[in-house]
């Protein structure tokens, strides 16, 4: 085995130490005169010369290790080594200043790349518990398997946790050298969510449910939900490359890499961990979104909160834009939202600890979610459903707190036969085409409201009598991935 090392920074020096003493030849070319002298003193064949100049290379090499400190220099050396030794195995260190473009260019020349993510995983290996380092490597491997652009898809009508998790995973994907874009179906209509996206200038692609996204994207990742076609409008036969969620699924999931941990209160908490483990400092935009996502999903650290949620929030505080966060949390309420709130209170129907309210025709879908949250604050109420209709579709939003109830599965059992429904154990929604019901109320919104109320409330309360129980939150983290060859 004839081994050639081009460049000898700190990483290169460690590689030389590993290669020294093995059978075969070892030759080092470095522009660092001190390093060359030290290597020769250790009886290593070393030349003080430019590693990028093929005139300095030996006649042959079976293994070429490119290991300088500069990404630009390493790319040049790898390119010239590939031309000089076309049959050699080339291992290239990306360098301390490598960009995504550098990594992509290196992959075209090298058989294997050592980059900052891999280095971070190696450093974590010494102190990690529970397979953290292995998890990092497998996530990176899944992201790098993507050919083309990766769509990081939040659930339909995304909330702050889904929005923040999506933009954070895009950051990780791009650092891994994969082009990615945050996406969603539906609307971002809640005024606080709109304020979050607008004030932080968060770019998210609103996908067209009538088009096949596979025509544009090479692969898909899911955040804050786990099954294509369930709580999103993706084709159900898509197999995601990455799934990260804090809600346990009721059915098995097929994906390249899966991280499902129900012992945390927000998916944003999991993304904060990944950013930290990869050594990625969040910018103000991502940090503010992640903190807000954690606060909303844990209801300001009062609902299903864990120690990890507090730790994640504390780690984000130095990077958060407090001014933007204050403006996000205090948006003005529109007249449409106030009108829906008033009708939800006036039209509520309560059975036991559950309340359902039909608000009739609406102009703002997200007002339903706000009304469902407000009704949940009523004394003696732990489950709410608020619904109304617009443009030939009935929309419903539900919330539950302190009940042994999986609301997502409850709405699915109640309404899936006449529409589509689903969501999480504590918050869920449904959409029901009016269909023939529209003929009933063409000349009378009041008549249509009565029909919708009878069908939706009737099915909802009937299903509650034997509703699916909420999944038990585990004390252990669940991270799964397929076996490797």
Helices 160-175, 191-199: crossing angle, 10 deg rounding: 30
End-to-end CA distance of the chain: 27
Where are the chain's structural domains? 2-114, 132-330, 335-464
Q: pLDDT band at 352, cuts 50/70/90?
A: very high
Q: What is the pLDDT of residue 397?
A: 93
User: Could you report the per-residue pLDDT of 202-232, keeping only the tens digit for each?
Assistant: 989 999 999 999 999 999 999 999 889 888 8
The predicted structure's pLDDT at residue 366: 80
The pLDDT of residue 470: 60
d(CA 448, CA 452): 6
Give CA–CA dist 55/59, Å, rounded.
Answer: 10
Question: Mean pLDDT, to the nearest integer, of 165-181?
Answer: 94
pLDDT in tens, 114-144: 876 555 555 554 444 445 667 888 899 899 9
What fold, for 335-464? Diaminopimelate Epimerase; Chain A, domain 1 (3.10.310)
What per-residue confidence (pLDDT) applies to 439? 52
Q: How far is it, in rounded angstroms, from Cα 320 to Cα 290? A: 9
Q: Which CATH number is associated with domain 2-114?
A: 3.40.50.720
Are the C-beta atoms of 230 and 224 separated by less than 8 Å?
no
DSSP code, position 87 = T
The pTM score is 0.60
Residue 195 — very low, low, confident or very high, per pLDDT cuts 50/70/90? confident
Q: Please give the pLDDT value at position 119.
A: 55
For the chain, give me the number of helices (H) and strands (E)? 17, 19
Lowest mean pLDDT among 43-47, 186-190, 415-419: 186-190
Give the 3-state secondary structure of residue 240.
Answer: coil
Dump pLDDT digits (tens) for 292-321: 999 998 888 887 889 999 999 999 999 999
Q: Which tens digits make up the pLDDT trace of 413-434?
A: 999 888 888 777 788 889 898 8
pLDDT for 254? 85
Tell me the C-alpha distance between 307 and 235, whole Å: 36
The pLDDT of 333-361, averaged and rounded, is 91
Identify the band that residue 17 occupies on the pLDDT scale cut at 50, 70 and 90.
confident
Would you tell me which CATH number, out of the four given (3.10.420.10, 3.90.1640.10, 3.30.1330.90, 3.40.30.10), belongs to the domain 132-330? 3.90.1640.10
* pLDDT over threshold 80, residue 401: yes
* More confidently predicted of 303 and 462: 462
Q: Return mean pLDDT, the chain.
A: 85
Packed helices 132-144 and 267-277: angle between N→C axes, nearest 10 degrees? 90
Q: What is the model's pLDDT at position 445? A: 64
The yes-or-no verdict on residue 13 having pLDDT over 70 is yes
Q: Residue 358's beta-bridge partner residues?
A: 387
Residue 402 pLDDT > 80, yes or no? no
**HSE-up of residue 365 (Cα within 13 Å, Cβ side):** 19
Residue 286: is its pLDDT beyond 90? yes
Question: Going by C-beta distance under 8 Å and a sequence separation of 6 or more, which residues neighbour residue 235?
Answer: 212, 213, 214, 228, 229
Range among 182-191, 290-299, 464-473 rated most confident: 290-299
Query: β-pairing, 420-423 with 427-433?
Result: antiparallel
Mean pLDDT of 69-83: 91
CA distance 353 to 399: 12
| CA angle, 373 then 378 then 383, to 5° | 60
Two tokens, residue 99: 């960009």
Q: Whose structure tokens read 């076309």? A: 86
Given a contact cutoff of 8 angstroms between Cβ atoms, the answer to whether 369 and 430 are in contact is no
Sheet holding 242-245, edge to edge: 205-206, 180-184, 150-153, 219-223, 242-245, 257-260, 478-480
The distance of Cα 42 from the centroid of its chain, to the nearest Å, equals 48
Whether 29 and 5 have beta carbons less than 8 Å apart is answered as yes
| Least confident piece of the model among 1-5, 99-103, 153-157 | 99-103
Share of the chain above pLDDT 70, in %: 89
The radius of gyration of the chain's CA atoms, rounded to the nearest angstrom, is 28
CA angle 278, 279, 283 (to 5 degrees): 110
Residue 331's pLDDT band, with cuts at 50, 70 and 90, is low
Q: Which of 112-116, 360-364, 448-452 has the lowest mean pLDDT?
A: 112-116
Q: Do domains 132-330 and 335-464 have the same CATH topology?
A: no
* Bridge partners of residue 245, in order along the sequence: 260
Q: How many other CB atoms are there within 10 angstroms of residue 296's CB atom?
A: 22
């Amino acid at each position: 085995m004839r081994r050639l090392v081009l460049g000898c920074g700190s990483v290169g020096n460690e590689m030389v130490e590993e290669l020294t003493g093995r059978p075969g030849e070892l030759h080092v070319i470095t522009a660092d005169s001190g390093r060359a002298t030290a290597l020769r003193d250790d009886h290593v064949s070393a030349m003080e010369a430019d590693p990028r100049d093929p005139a300095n290379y030996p006649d042959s090499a079976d293994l070429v290790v490119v290991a300088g400190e500069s990404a630009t220099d390493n790319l040049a050396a790898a390119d010239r080594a590939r031309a000089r030794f076309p049959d050699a195995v080339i291992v290239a260190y990306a360098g301390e200043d490598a960009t995504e473009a550098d990594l992509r260019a290196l992959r075209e020349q090298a058989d294997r790349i050592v980059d900052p993510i891999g280095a971070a995983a190696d450093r974590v290996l010494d102190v990690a518990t529970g397979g953290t380092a292995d998890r990092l490597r497998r996530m990176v491997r899944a992201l790098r398997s993507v050919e083309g652009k990766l769509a990081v898809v939040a659930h339909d009508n995304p909330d702050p946790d889904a929005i923040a998790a999506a933009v954070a995973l895009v950051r990780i994907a791009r650092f891994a050298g994969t082009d990615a874009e945050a996406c969603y179906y539906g609307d971002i209509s809640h005024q606080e969510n709109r304020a979050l996206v607008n004030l932080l200038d968060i770019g998210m692609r609103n996908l067209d449910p009538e088009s096949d996204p596979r025509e544009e994207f090479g692969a898909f990742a899911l955040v804050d939900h786990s099954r294509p076609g369930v709580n999103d409008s993706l084709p159900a036969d898509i197999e995601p490359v990455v799934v990260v969620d804090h809600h346990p699924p009721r059915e098995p999931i097929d994906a390249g890499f899966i991280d499902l941990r129900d012992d945390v209160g927000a998916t944003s908490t999991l993304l904060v961990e990944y950013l930290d483990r990869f050594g990625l400092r969040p910018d103000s935009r991502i940090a503010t979104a992640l903190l807000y996502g954690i606060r909303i999903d844990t209801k300001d650290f009062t609902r299903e909160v864990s120690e990890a949620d507090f730790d994640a929030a504390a780690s984000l505080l130095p990077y958060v834009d407090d001014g933007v966060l204050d403006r996000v949390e205090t948006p003005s309420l529109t007249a449409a939202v106030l009108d829906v709130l008033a009708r939800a209170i006036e039209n509520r129907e309560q059975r036991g600890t559950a309340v359902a309210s039909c608000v009739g025709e609406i102009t703002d879908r997200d007002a339903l979610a706000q009304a469902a949250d407000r009704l949940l604050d009523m004394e003696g109420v732990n489950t709410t459903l608020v619904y109304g209709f617009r443009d030939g579709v009935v929309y419903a939003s539900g919330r539950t707190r302190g009940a042994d109830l999986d609301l997502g599965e409850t709405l699915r059992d109640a309404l899936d036969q006449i529409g589509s429904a689903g969501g999480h154990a504590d918050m869920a929604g449904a959409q029901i085409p009016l269909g023939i019901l529209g003929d009933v109320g063409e000349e009378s919104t009041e008549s249509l409201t009565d029909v919708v109320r009878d069908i939706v409330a009737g099915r909802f309360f009937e299903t509650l009598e034997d509703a699916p129980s909420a999944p038990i939150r585990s004390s252990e983290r669940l991270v799964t991935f397929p076996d490797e060859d």
